Structure 1
Amino acid sequence: MRHLLLAAAAAALLAAPAAAQQAVKPGVPSILQWSPEQQKAWYPAIETAYRVNTIKAGGKVHPLPKAAKQLPDALSDAYMAQNDVSGFLVIKDGKIVAERYGLDRKPQDRWTSFSVAKSVTSTLVGAAIADGKIKGEDALVTDYIPELKGSGYDGVTVRQLLMMSSGVKWNEDYTDPNSDVARAGTAIVEPGVNPLVSYMRKLPRANEPGTKFTYNTGETDLVGILVSNAVGKSLSAYASEKIWKPYGMERDAVWVTDLAGHERGGCCISMTLRDYGRLGQFILDGGKAAGKQVVPPEFVARATSPQIKNGAPERGYGYFWWMPVSGAFEGRGIFGQSVTVFPEDRIVIVLNAAWPEATKRERSMARTAFLNSVREAAKGL
């Protein structure tokens, strides 16, 4: 459990230093150091703090009708109050059975995702495979990021990156200012080369690719660069084309960029609470939008089922999705963000929050217990 929580906490650290240098106005601290007042002000409006690209929504909105029976507010009152929850949404069989807001948030307000963005990036890989832009999960990373040729990424496949098992040596210690996660991508050292790529191509190999799970936020950003290179457009434009417009997201989203102006594949998309729900529903529905298969069903199945053991008391790790023992698959972000899908029950649960700490064992345990109680209550409706 401790390994899992530390990994989750580190998920945004790669984004933090570079994003701080991309601040819209001077004096914006690292996102990990925001006060409760700054969290409340900037989580729903991150574009006022950091530079972003926009994911355009279309004109048609995917309906999320309200079910006749709703979960009682009493079920979530205590959890929301104790964990600074700004948004709580439950969808069952495509209908809303609970929708609540806190911290003065309104339904039209966005909220930043932290590492839930990783699950979006994984989904865009599947879309690029369907489009024939990526040859398949076994395609070589160096085919799409040629600057990595001759590095520890020689012979590494797209699938191995998605499983966080490239074998490249990586230090995700967020307490060490000299760790890879603290240093990667924070300076442009080779003009014309993304700063993250410049850093990562100098790293040595530690394990045989595909054999060991190593939580590596740098590689989630690398996957974002890989997708952009493959499809010939920005991640924001591609997410708009493949998810936001065809599935019917209700509002434009924004995505924090790195020093080179590239969206960070591992962090910080901001969207509305209902659009988080639509994201979960899109994956639950097998990657279909407007009657079209956007992501291959077999890719969705692998992405949301255990592909590698991750050293935590869970079923394993998929393609940037976590696999809790409850049978769900889950996108997670620090400070209390999650999109949890229970496929057997056709239930999607979204939580947005502003925890006072990035992660804490007691809070993670409380969230798990709360999610399980909500699931049981929703099954009974």
Structure 2
Amino acid sequence: MKKAGWAILLVICCIGGYLALPSNYYLRRAAVHLFPKIDQYPIFENRIVKAGAPEPWKVSENYNTQSIPEKYLQVFNELGTVAFIIIQNDSLLFEQYWEDYSPESHSNSFSMAKSIVSLAVGCAIDDGFIRNVDQPVSDFIPQFKGFNGKQLTLRHLLTMSAGVDFREAYASPFSPTTQLYYGNNLEKIAFGMKEIEEPGKYFNYQSGVTQLLAFILEKATGEKLSSYVSRKLWTPMHAEEDALWSLDKKDGTEKAYCCFNSNARDFARFGQLVLNKGSWDDGQQLVSPAYLQKAITPDSTLLLNETEETNKNYGFQFWNLDYNGMRIPYMRGILGQYVFVIPEKNAVIVRLGHKRDKKYTFQHYPADIDTWLGAAMDMLDNKNTNKNKHK
């Protein structure tokens, strides 16, 4: 065998030995499954988020009387859309599915789950388990004492301004983000983060921070995250199907920063809850309006690390954008998972798919958003035009 062949064999053996180390469990899984996908929940252990009182959406009299405008279809197809629905006036106005997806098909939320965690924090404050968003993190996890004399609070976690050393990187198999997704010890990663700068100054998007929030919720409420979300949100919102929240191991911890698996119709309920200012159609107040308003309002006291611009797009684990003069709060996942809330139209839009555009516009705004909102707005406007014609 030539020297080059021996070198290759040696590298393979070294890599094999490295991957065999117990601490590199996540790398073995990453090597097998590669990049995250929307239908990967069967490779993980999952905990059921029980839908205890299912009720279907009311169906609009104009249900599916329109089609997605042709000018948007190329992007819909190129980015692998699997579901697109419009809820307006508390009713299902439009839905379309691609591939083998249906109204019951589960798809990963990815980082839309961060917004669900935020809503759960609001519930825990309402329940008295948490005093307020300015309660110190050290009340729950003593080692997080703050930096340079400034306490780390839940507000800092919610607004992604914690000042910790978590590196959000999706392309590297060695990043803590990959360890969170494919690993089997979320507590080690979240509790292992170090405070390296003053909290409450810079917006720095970090999935490990949301995972820390989930541990605080579990400690504060005395319940597993899935159980608490089922009891406080999923069941009262009358979700039709049980959801699945992926875990780091059997009987383990929810991957709270991602990996809430459900369908487009039921994801829309979170948007409707925001549209209703925290109440549901049967009159239940599930999250206080005051908390929810703060959650969907960008924290303008924060600066963006890379530009020193003022944060205009992120609140308490919710994104916010300006679209044609309308402020739209929304939930977002890395592969193009979206729930948009459009108060001016009394509407909620859900898009699920395999990809999102790699191009970004102002302050973390993926370019594909213009397609989903453009299509929805055109359909909503056309519906109203047709309605007026027939008066």
TM-score normalised to structure 1 length: 0.81
1:63-85 Cα shifts (integer Å, max 9, x gaps): 33234264622425434322211
Aligned residue in 2 for 1:360: 358
8 Å CA contact 1:315–1:325 kept in 2: the answer is no
Aligned residue in 2 for 1:281: 272
- Aligned-partner residue type, residue 196 of structure 1: I
Change (3 A) 1:185 1:221: same
**What is the CA-CA distance between 1:117 and the residue it aligns to?**
0.5
Aligned 1:91-110 pairs, distance under 5 A: 91-110=87-106
Which has the higher mean CA deviation after the structures are superposed, 286-295 or 362-371? 362-371
Change (3 A) 1:28 1:166: closer
Aligned residue in 1 for 2:121: 125
Question: Of the candidates 161, 164, 171, which is equivalent to residue 168 of structure 1?
Answer: 164
- Aligned-partner residue type, residue 280 of structure 1: G
**What is the CA-CA distance between 1:187 and the residue it aligns to?**
6.7
Aligned residue in 1 for 2:343: 343
Which has the higher mean CA deviation after the structures are superposed, 370-379 or 342-351? 370-379
**What is the CA-CA distance between 1:62 and the residue it aligns to?**
5.0
8 Å CA contact 1:347–1:375 kept in 2: the answer is no
Aligned residue in 2 for 1:7: none
Aligned residue in 1 for 2:283: 291
Change (3 A) 1:292 1:232: same
8 Å CA contact 1:71–1:378 kept in 2: the answer is no
Aligned 1:1-381 pairs, distance under 5 A: 21=25, 33=35, 39=37, 43-44=38-39, 46-61=40-55, 63-68=57-62, 70=64, 72-75=66-69, 77-149=73-145, 155-176=151-172, 179-182=175-178, 194-200=187-193, 203-206=194-197, 208-259=198-249, 261-289=252-280, 290-308=282-300, 309=302, 311=304, 315-326=312-323, 327-355=327-355, 360-361=358-359, 364-380=366-382, 381=384
Change (3 A) 1:185 1:152: farther
- Aligned-partner residue type, residue 297 of structure 1: P
1:339-372 Cα shifts (integer Å, max 9, x gaps): 11112221111000012xx751189323323313
Q: Max radius of gyration: which structure? A: 2
- Aligned-partner residue type, residue 347 of structure 1: A
**Unmatched runs of 5 consecutive residues or more in structure 2:** 1-21, 385-391
RMSD: 3.1
The structure, 1 or 2, with the larger RCO (C-alpha pairs under 8 Å, 6+ apart) is 1
Change (3 A) 1:175 1:33: closer
1:239-285 Cα shifts (integer Å, max 9, x gaps): 10011111100000001112581112210111111001112111211
8 Å CA contact 1:138–1:159 kept in 2: the answer is yes
**What is the CA-CA distance between 1:90 and the residue it aligns to?**
0.7
Matched residues in 1 for 2:246 and 2:162: separation? 25
8 Å CA contact 1:188–1:195 kept in 2: the answer is no
Matched residues in 2 for 1:147 and 1:87: separation? 43
**What is the CA-CA distance between 1:149 and the residue it aligns to?**
4.7
- Aligned-partner residue type, residue 375 of structure 1: M
Change (3 A) 1:313 1:293: same
8 Å CA contact 1:93–1:346 kept in 2: the answer is yes
- Matched residue count: 345
- Aligned-partner residue type, residue 64 of structure 1: K
Report % sequence identity: 29
